[in-house]
Amino acid sequence: MSAAAPGADVLRLRDIGFEAPRALLEAYGLQLVQVADGEVIPGSYWGEDEAGLIGTTVHARADTPVHSLLHEACHLLVMPPERRAAVHTDATDSVPEEDAACCLQILLAARLPGVGSARLMADMDAWGYTFRLGSTQAWFERDAEDARAFLAAIGMP
């Protein structure tokens, strides 16, 4: 993931609401805490409107991009459960975990009404995620075998 692309037009939580993302995260044992507009998001690695992590809680505002919420939540889901409680802001420096988080966020986007995998991949590109094959979709379709194997090994979809 990289810093926000200036003027990136991406789907934000205000566009889909907090109910469905909250239910999705709760199904995996995570909490979603809504931060008031204009307040600093606790545990945000990228700052500004990006989602934050503290333990098993994901913090986000209405202006948080959906891809950011999913990406940070997926970091928690791909790490060993014993590491989750200690997480604060920086989830990993592991390339395999980073790739698995990217793959999982695309898969989970299909479970959010009004989002879907195609929109999430387009938003990832608009935001500045970079992949060897030039786009998120190309990576996901033709170069994410290692990420899929990682997810399978930990029992994730």
DSSP sequence for 86-153: T-BS-----HHHHHHHHHHHHHHHTTSTTT-HHHHHHHHHHHT---TTSSHHHHHHHT-HHHHHHHHH
How many domains, in total, are found in the chain?
A: 1
What CA–CA distance (Å, rounded) separates 85 from 116?
Answer: 29
Q: What is the pLDDT of residues 10-24, one digit of tens each?
A: 999 999 999 999 999
pLDDT confidence tier of residue 32, bands split at 50, 70 and 90? very high
Residue 121: inside a domain: yes
CA-wise closest residue to 34 among 20, 46, 18:
18
* Residue 132 domain boundaries: 13-153
Residue 114: inside a domain: yes
> Whole-model pTM?
0.93
Residue 6: inside a domain: no
Residue 5: inside a domain: no
Residue 38: inside a domain: yes
What integer best gives the mean pLDDT of the chain? 93
Residue 65: inside a domain: yes
Residue 4: inside a domain: no
Residue 7: inside a domain: no
